[in-house]
Amino acid sequence: MNLSPGAIKIRCHNCKLPFYRELRWVKYNIKINNNNYCSKNCGFDIRKTGKIFKCENVLCSKKFYRAKNNISPHNYCSQSCGATVNNKKFPKRLISEEDRYNVCQQCKLRFFTNWKKKKLCSPKCYSLLRKDRKKYTEEELLKIIKLSFKKLGRVPAKREMKDILGVCTNTFGSWNKAIEASGLVPNRSHDNRMYKRSMAKAADGHICDSISEAIIDNWLTEHRITHEKGVSYPKTNHKADWAIKNGKVLVEYFGLTKDSPRYDRDTRRKKNICRRNNIKLIAIYPEDIYPRPNLGNKLLTN
């Protein structure tokens, strides 16, 4: 073995076996407080913080290394071994032959399916169903929107007009364009609703950030629930939509849940603030007010 004249014999910090290294590198490692290793593998092994496990699958029993942050109550060497064990512990529910059949909404015949939500047996029935749907002209669609505006006293939200939503989108290009064609001002769109707000005024004079908030505010007024608008969370700049029961309970409308990662982070932050300060928070979502407000279970029972 060819050794340089300045090489000295030292021991590996990991495996303790002797090896040769140039004196200048030994001194350099001592200077920067580093250890000396005989190979890269020894340097990697000593930095490992995980453990060696034995696969819990009796048929395998293979030994493997797992990092500290990946250790779980049950450790398997592969997904296949984990599936083998778990499928025996938790066998799948046997589906009866009767549960595999649905009734077609169009032709009323029973058909076999693995997807229970499937309601039509064939593309032919789907085409017939589309033909049976009522066809609207542009004038009829605009008339329906204007009548809804007069009935509600505000611009209807697309969640409230599911019967004509798809037709309006195909005819005008989008729901907001249909609202504009009827001579009304659309509510916030999906593209700008996080930045451009459509303010609305509730019956009691409270200024709300959206039509949905105005619906909730009016519901509180109709049921004679005393409420305060825009109450601050403790020790933060965040504000709750309403406070009821003399500020002991906060009410928040999370209307953009799952629409924006930033909005979801703020939602989790508000819930954590209430949890840390032992404050009750009533969360209201779009499904609680559309197509009709159904807030009694949340606001009258709390």
For 260-276, write each residue's pLDDT tens digit.
Answer: 778 888 888 898 988 88
| Residue 85 CB neighbours (<10 A) | 17
pTM of the model: 0.43
Cβ pair 253, 259 in contact under 8 A:
no
pLDDT value for 191: 46
Question: Which residue(s) pair with 18 in the sheet?
Answer: 11
User: Sorting pLDDT into bands at 50, 70 and 90, what band is 1?
Assistant: low
- The average pLDDT across 205-219 equals 87
- pLDDT digit string, tens, across residues 98-156: 677 888 888 888 888 877 678 888 888 887 777 666 778 888 899 999 998 888 777 88
For a pLDDT cut of 70, what percent of the chain falls above it?
90
| Of residues 152 and 86, more confidently modeled | 86
The whole-angstrom separation of Cα 258 and Cα 260 is: 6
Please state which of the four CATH numbers 3.30.2290.10, 3.40.50.300, 2.40.50.100, 3.40.960.10 is assigned to the domain occupying 200-299. Answer: 3.40.960.10
pLDDT value for 193: 45
Q: Give me the amino acid identity at 128.
A: L
Cβ pair 211, 187 in contact under 8 A:
yes
Q: Is residue 196 over pLDDT 70?
A: no
- pLDDT digit string, tens, across residues 145-190: 999 888 877 788 777 787 888 888 888 888 888 988 888 877 654 4
Q: Where is 103: in which H helix or E strand? A: strand 101-103
| Of residues 186 and 10, more confidently modeled | 10
How do strand 63-66 and strand 51-54 relate by DSSP bridges? antiparallel
